[in-house]
Structure 1
């Protein structure tokens, strides 16, 4: 089936446009269902409304970017469910396109890029987050596109490499301006950058000085290591602080330059405080197994019983774990740097939540890790199929689409037959 698209392999931008249109349509249909605030929208929608009014600080636990984007949707489409969720839906589409772009850069395979993009659209956690006025969808989008730009910066002229590198730093600053959980990714990017430079130096039999200061290197041409790290840090930090600009115009308790750093300390205290237990809390190790999904909504709404369950697509989430293991195998046994890098990316994204000082964890923290599985699956298939087009990924993709269609009623707040209608999808007691 996918082989019929051979003619489009030389036109990735056209294919990406078609993928983006399809994803946006998928995320937009019945975007205003449910018609009321659900789950953590109760924190972020009022904070976005306060930003529009510049009435004063609200939900200061997190920075402003995510709430600014929700506010932009409200400004354009009105203070209604569609307005609250319009920009998250666009961010969801951007995440799907980022998966397409990342796989294209990693594999130069239209087959792999398309499979990954479709898997991302139907992996269910992205679908639900793209239709909810919360923060993690924006965090994921900015981080994904930062990674795409950093991959793209590995090739081209020095001027192109620097432009893409700086653009990635801007996106990393915006990601941090959504949630601080972006910070570990910036640190990991720095470590990966230096590690690749050291490996390049060993292969070329060059000195440590060349690693740190040489700009005639095979990856990221024209970018010496120390200047690259410095620009990455300074630009991302500068952009992060610029995102607080609206807070200086609050009518009540406006932010001041002298209060900017104390605000960061207050935010840290709020994010690391010990919170009371929550019905939907879960540990990081349980997220890949989907032991505790979250009901974002389950109420009578618009004349019917409706529900929104944040749950991954079992085909993608569980099959993706096998793909990660396959990528590790290919990376270690057959020295595939692409496969190993993808496997390490997923592992690092989960390890972050094992280390950061949060007293409670929730399944939606796995949002970005679930997207990385959609990158690992096509890479694993491409590697082990050796590009011979055996079609196994097409069967996998078909199974994922069927799984998505099966769960769709409790992902999109479709009408259910009665108050117990959810039972049909509850495979395990912990899913209730």
Structure 2
């Protein structure tokens, strides 16, 4: 790490320190809020501006909108011959893979009679819906007229690209027309824009399998998240933009939900706007919602369930409690981490009712509310969860409402729960970018999702970690909120800290392999905690606007600076290392 690299984190830390020095002391801070809590036209304008700007950034270069859509099905040991028309120099052979795993043997011939092995291409589980290059064996004659592909198993292949010496596409004659009917979408090389990466190899593939009525490959998580991914594929096709669309849309959708929650908590416009902007341009929020995985949906529904629980415990009605339970159920059907959120909701609900009972509320009303919660936090979530497996049923030939009442369907659901529990209990394999919870809270070990070096000295890379402003300032804010909750009995701070601990504490005791993206749900509560400090400054600091707007601006500036390693935008490798590798453990 060079001296110039240290300048940037030091300046960031100093700015954060100055921000907190301008904050009123927690012992004497005014805990009230200023400003209207009802949504106004100005709120709509400010929120709309944030959403529009973020949407433009998030959907830009999300992924190619075109990819091979027709696939040739190879039978086991079936061969397909390609006739180049005449003997030509072949510089490379690219294959776009589809479903199923196996391998292709690539052979070449000058006369169509004598064949020589040129390469073996593995279509394994990590290489589906990707452009693969056939690595020719040493001694392979670059000049040939015929090429033969032989599959060892039943495999689906979307397209074949035979390239000449200058990279131009060579026309081929073959009986397998599906392999050459979409040559216009052939890229120059495999890239995140045209192929799956990281856990997309599981979730995007499984979403496609749900649409095709095929038994799903990825069964280590509940199905609803993959079904939501399938919505984007249904709209745009099995293309990178399609399988990433839903996650990005839900990432945008988080912003209005967060704004409303902040508005209800703190009133005014400045605090909700700044909090929403900080979360919008958080590194993990941006990167994680642009990848076709299921974490985005869990965080989205966590936001909703906490919004409605907050409304309920602050004078709301039973419908708010009911909606909190419904969104809890939907969230759990996406990913089990929402169970942790449910524990936080239960603690908040219990504290609320302890206060009511001490205030003279009758036990009969409490019992009725308990029964109400059993319906909306247990029965309905179980029903949603059970129904979410319908794609598993249809893949096995079951149809209609009647399948939900069959033993076969029930067995599918039960067996999958057993598998998931066993699977997640046994994930202890080494991973170069794994990390523990105590590293997440300080942004010490990001997870690298993608890395590609180019010949011109640039590279494309991105990973998941928090914006240092949100991570570091947010952590201090959580500690301050804990003080306010314990010593000042501040209900808003208690709500925030309970939510934060509900998402973080389980990972303290979990021994399986973990990654920084597991901290994503906690980022919501870091934002809320930071906004609680904003609200204290608004009521007790003379220059609160400068502090709040300044920290928000710093957050957005850091997003712009780190944008290349959040989006995959090619950047000079040396420059990225010198400016952006703030810690030796950062993989940039």
TM class by smaller structure: 0.7 to 0.9
Distance 1:38 1:108, change over 3 A: same
Structure 1's 9 and 174: CA in aligned 2 closer, same or farther, altered over 3 A?
closer
Q: Which residue of 2 aligns with 1:129?
A: 288
How far did residue 382 of structure 1 move? 0.8
Q: 1:24 aligns with which of 43, 48, 55?
A: 55
Tell me, which stretches of 5 or more residues in structure 1 are unaligned? 215-223
Distance 2:295 2:250 in 1: 10
Residue aligned with 1:16, SS:
helix
Alpha-carbon shift at residue 154 of structure 1 (Å)? 4.0
Matching residue of 1:264:
417
Deviation at 1:300, TM superposition (A): 4.5
Alignment of 1:348-367 (within 5 A): 348-355=502-509, 357=510, 359-367=512-520
SS at match of 1:185: helix
Would you say 1:93 and 2:247 are equivalent positions?
A: no
Per the alignment, residue 349 of structure 2 pairs with 193
Within the candidate set 127, 137, 149, 2:308 is matched to 149
Q: 2:441 matched to 1:297?
A: no
Whole-angstrom distance in 2 between the partners of 1:352 and 1:54: 36
Number of matched pairs: 412
Q: Distance in 2 between matches of 1:187 and 1:230?
A: 16
CA deviations on 1:331-366 (whole Å, 9 max, x unpaired) are: 2333321123212321222102223x4511110000
CA 1:274/1:298 → structure 2, altered by over 3 Å: closer, same or farther? closer
Is the CA contact 1:64–1:243 (under 8 Å) kept in the aligned structure 2?
A: yes
> How far apart are residue 23 of structure 1 and its match?
2.5
Contact 1:57-1:253 within 8 A present in 2 as well: no
Q: Choose which of 310, 313, 338 in structure 1 pairs with 2:464.
A: 310
Residue 556 (structure 2) pairs with residue 401 (structure 1): yes
- Aligned residue number for residue 17 of structure 2: none
Q: Deviations over 1:127-156 (max 9, x none)?
A: 001111111111100111111122233467
State whether residues 445 and 585 of structure 2, in contact with CA within 8 Å, keep that contact through their aligned partners in structure 1. yes
1:167 CA displacement: 2.5
Contact 2:348 2:498 in 1 (8 A): no
Does the 8 A contact of 2:344 with 2:499 survive in 1? no
* Structure number with higher strand proportion: 2
Counterpart-to-counterpart distance in 2, 1:315 and 1:191: 29
Question: 2: distance between equivalents of 1:346 and 1:155?
Answer: 19
* 1:360 partner SS: coil
The one-character-per-residue Cα deviations of 1:399-420 (angstroms, maximum 9, x if unpaired) are 1111111111110111112588
Aligned twin of 1:221: none
Match of 1:35?
194
Structure 2 unpaired stretches of 5+: 1-34, 64-191, 400-407
Cα shift at 1:324? 1.1
CA distance in 2, matches of 1:294, 1:165: 36
- Matched-pair contact (CA < 8 Å) for 1:190–1:229: no
- The CA RMSD over aligned residues, in Å, is 2.6
Q: 1:170 to 1:330 in 2, by over 3 A?
A: same
1:89-122 deviation per Cα after TM superposition (whole angstroms, max 9, x unaligned): 1111122222211111111232211111001011
Distance 1:46 1:363 in 2: 23
Q: Tell me, what secondary structure is at the counterpart of 2:247?
A: helix
1:239 alignment counterpart: 384
How far has the Cα of 1:226 moved from its partner?
Answer: 3.4
The 1-side partners of 2:432 and 2:210 are apart by: 30
Structure 1 counterpart of 2:227? 68
Shift in alpha-carbon separation, 1:183–1:419, aligned structure 2, 3 A: same
Provide the rounded CA distance (Å) in 2 between the counterparts of 1:372 and 1:63.
24
Pick the structure with more helix per residue.
1
The two structures have a TM-score, normalised by structure 1, of 0.88
Task: Give the C-alpha shift of residue 52 in structure 1.
Answer: 1.4
Note if contact 1:66-1:177 (Cα within 8 Å) is conserved in structure 2.
Answer: yes
- Shift of residue 248, structure 1, vs aligned partner: 0.6
